Amino acid sequence: MAGSALKRLMAEYKQLTMNPPEGIIAGPVNEENFFEWEALIMGPEGTCFEGGVFPARLTFPPDYPLSPPKMKFTCELFHPNIYPDGRVCISILHAPGDDPMGYETSAERWSPVQSVEKILLSVVSMLAEPNDESAANVDAAKTWREDRSKFNEVAERTVRKTLGL
């Protein structure tokens, strides 16, 4: 038997492979290290990201699930809540102590009850509905707010890029 973090990650991996949620695939990069995951997220239907498949990388801390994992898109993604370098900025990924934007109540922060599945589902809903109140990418937030058609255009371009077109 190994550490509790490892056991929990294995349990989550099993759960995710047994009944995967729609539009999400996730698993460890290799079976030797369960603390690095790769995830593929499909752009939610009916949004400007529809049809895209966005790869992301999840890095789990040794004390998972007491601390949240980090998530980073490995593709280019123009979105108000994703930093230009791909890091995802959503409240569920922040430990209750730190608050980079000062917006979040502790109720929506990380807690051991959360899981990889919940994180990925939150990311899907974040893709569908950007939160321009606490923007990680200010340019994207501005475009999203003021010039929606341009935002959609950029999104379409990234979608096409991720599909290799």
Partner 1 sequence: MMKMRSLVLTGLSSVLSAIVVGNAYIQKKQFYPSVVYITKSNSSMAVLYLQAFVFVVLMGKLCRKIFFGQLRAAEMEHLIERSWYAVTETCLAFTVFRDDFSPRFVALFTLLLFLKCFHWLAEDRVDYMERSPIISWLFHIRAISLITVLFLLDMLFINHAYYSTLLKGASVQLVFGFEYAILLTVVFMTLTKYILHCIDIQSNNNWENKAVYLLYSELVTGCIKVLLYTAFMIIMIKVHTFPLFAIRPMYLAVRGFKKALHDVIMSRRAIYNMNQYYPDATEEDLQSTDRVCIICREDMIRDSKKLPCNHIFHTSCLRSWFQRQQTCPTCRMDILHVPRQQPAAQQPPQQVQQQPQPPNIQNMFPGFPGMQMWPPAPPVPPPMAQQQQGGTQPGTSLPDGTSGAAARTSAATTTTSTSPTTAPLTGTAPAIGVPYMGPGVAIPPMPQMFMPTYPMNMMNSFPSPPTNMAGMSDEELHEMEGVERQNVEARIQWLRDIQSLLDGAMLLISQYNTVAANMSMPGITTETLSTSERAQTSTGVPMPRTSPPQEGAWSKGGARSKVSNPQDKNIRKAQSASSLYSDRNESKTDLTELEGAAGYTSPNEEMIPAWNDPNDEEHSDEMDEVRKRRLQHFSSSSSLSSLSKQDDENINTQSGFQN
In angstroms, the CA 65 to CA 42 distance is 25
Find residue 55's DSSP bridge partners.
40
Say how many C-beta atoms besides its own lie within 10 A of residue 18's C-beta: 7
123 versus 155: smaller Cβ distance to partner 1: 123
> Does position 6 bind partner 1 by CB under 8 A?
yes
Cis omega (within 30 of 0) for bond into 80? no
Percent helix, strand, coil in the chain, to 5, is 35, 20, 45
> Does position 21 bind partner 1 by CB under 8 A?
no
> Does position 18 bind partner 1 by CB under 8 A?
no
Say how many C-beta atoms besides its own lie within 10 A of residue 133's C-beta: 10
In angstroms, the CA 84 to CA 56 distance is 14
Q: What does the radius of gyration of the chain's CA atoms come to, in whole angstroms? A: 16
Q: Which of 16, 58, 89, 124 is catalytic?
A: 89
Contact segment (CB under 8 A) with partner 1 among 37-45, 82-90, 103-111, 139-147 equals 103-111
Residue from the set 31, 85, 98, 146 that interacts with partner 1 by CB under 8 A? 31
> Does position 17 bind partner 1 by CB under 8 A?
no
> Does position 128 bind partner 1 by CB under 8 A?
no
> Does position 8 bind partner 1 by CB under 8 A?
yes
Is 48 among the catalytic positions?
no
Write out the residues near partner 1 by the rule CB under 8 A.
1-8, 10-12, 15, 31-35, 62-63, 65-67, 95-97, 105-108, 111-113
**Residues carrying an active site annotation:** 89
